[in-house]
């Protein structure tokens, strides 16, 4: 008897879910996108075709270039009358670029290996509001956001390995640039498909005019001379303003 009642309750809840979802004012979402706010001092390594190093070796025998640039986010949205919504978006962004190369003699003997990496991380929140227009199972949205980013310190490292001498030390140089805060205002717009009333999937486009303020010390650590050396600059403040990169996000949203 208990199983029959439980089964009937579940069946009724499933049948009622679409109707309930259309009446609720809250929805949550998840999105993945490309980062749109960069650290002002970013200078990611670029792959080359050849180079020259000490000793007359100039050929790149092997190279590997990789970039990890993404943003993952959560979204909370509240529906208002007349097709308006208040929303809060927040998440984490990573911009990391690696370039590894092996230099060698003209006859193909590996001599030196070099790896360069640059890493920039940030956390952000973006309150805003949008309006929507329904077109059957599709909806168009547009509005305004006020993003705020916390930029972590930018790390840039370079290492060099003597491949001719296995016991030789790895020479490294690591530079660290100050982090800070970036805030601004910008438009957001998108299109969504609603396969069922309580869920949607779609794309959003975002950009913003951002003001960035960094404050702190530049630091550098290296052992080029064989002895570890740490250099620390004086504390400075850096300010910059301009448009962010265009962000394209794939978003999944579900009504509560």
* Type and span of the H or E element at 237: strand 236-243
pLDDT band at 48 (very low <50, low <70, confident <90, very high): low
The CA–CA distances, whole Å, from 120 to 21, 98, 99 equal: 39, 12, 15
Segment 66-91 mean pLDDT: 94
The domains of the chain, with CATH numbers, are: 26-255 (2.40.160)
* Confidence check: pLDDT of 7 > 50: no
Q: Are 171 and 160 within 8 A, CB to CB?
A: yes
* β-sheet bridge partners, residue 151: 122, 180
pLDDT at 14: 31
pLDDT band at 180 (very low <50, low <70, confident <90, very high): very high
- Between 135 and 226, the more confident residue is 135
* Confidence check: pLDDT of 234 > 90: no
pLDDT band at 32 (very low <50, low <70, confident <90, very high): very high
* Confidence check: pLDDT of 17 > 50: no
Query: Cα 2 to the chain's mean position, in Å?
Result: 50
pLDDT band at 109 (very low <50, low <70, confident <90, very high): confident
pLDDT at 58: 56
State the average pLDDT for the chain. 85
Q: How many CB atoms lie within 10 A of CB 76?
A: 15
Q: Are 202 and 156 within 8 A, CB to CB?
A: no
* Confidence check: pLDDT of 207 > 50: yes
Segment 29-54 mean pLDDT: 80
Question: Minimal CA–CA distance to 174: which of 160, 152, 161, 157?
Answer: 157
* Confidence check: pLDDT of 9 > 60: no
Question: What totals of helices (H) and strands (E) does the chain contain, helices first?
Answer: 1, 16
What percent of the residues of the chain are helix, what percent strand, and what percent coil, each to the nearest 5?
Answer: 10, 65, 25
Segment 189-212 mean pLDDT: 95
Q: Are 36 and 73 within 8 A, CB to CB?
A: no
Q: Are 144 and 129 within 8 A, CB to CB?
A: yes
In angstroms, how far is the first alpha carbon of the chain from the final one? Answer: 31
- Paired tokens of 221: 């650590």
* Type and span of the H or E element at 126: strand 110-135
């Amino acid at each position: 008897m208990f199983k029959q009642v439980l089964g009937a309750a579940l069946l009724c809840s499933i049948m009622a879910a679409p109707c309930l979802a259309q009446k609720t004012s809250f929805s949550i979402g998840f999105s993945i996108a490309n980062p749109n706010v960069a650290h002002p001092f970013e200078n990611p390594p670029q792959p080359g075709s050849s180079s020259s190093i000490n000793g007359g070796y100039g050929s790149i025998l092997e190279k590997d270039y990789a970039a990890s640039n993404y943003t993952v986010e959560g979204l909370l949205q509240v529906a208002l009358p007349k097709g308006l919504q208040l929303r809060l978006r927040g998440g984490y962004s990573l911009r990391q670029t690696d370039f590894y190369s092996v230099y060698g003699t003209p006859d193909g003997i590996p001599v030196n290996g070099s790896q360069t990496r640059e890493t920039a991380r940030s956390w952000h929140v973006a309150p805003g509001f949008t309006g929507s227009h329904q077109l059957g199972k599709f909806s168009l949205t547009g509005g305004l956001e006020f993003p705020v980013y916390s930029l972590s310190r930018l790390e840039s490292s370079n290492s060099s390995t003597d491949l001719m001498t296995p016991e030789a030390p790895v020479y490294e140089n690591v530079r660290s640039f100050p982090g800070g805060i970036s805030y601004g205002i910008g438009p957001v717009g998108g299109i969504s498909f609603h396969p069922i009333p309580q869920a949607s999937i779609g794309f959003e486009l975002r950009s913003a005019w951002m003001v960035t303020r960094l404050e702190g010390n530049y630091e550098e650590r290296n052992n080029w001379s064989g002895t570890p050396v740490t250099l620390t600059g004086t504390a400075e403040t850096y300010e910059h303003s301009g448009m962010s990169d265009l962000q394209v996000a794939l978003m999944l949203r579900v009504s509560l």
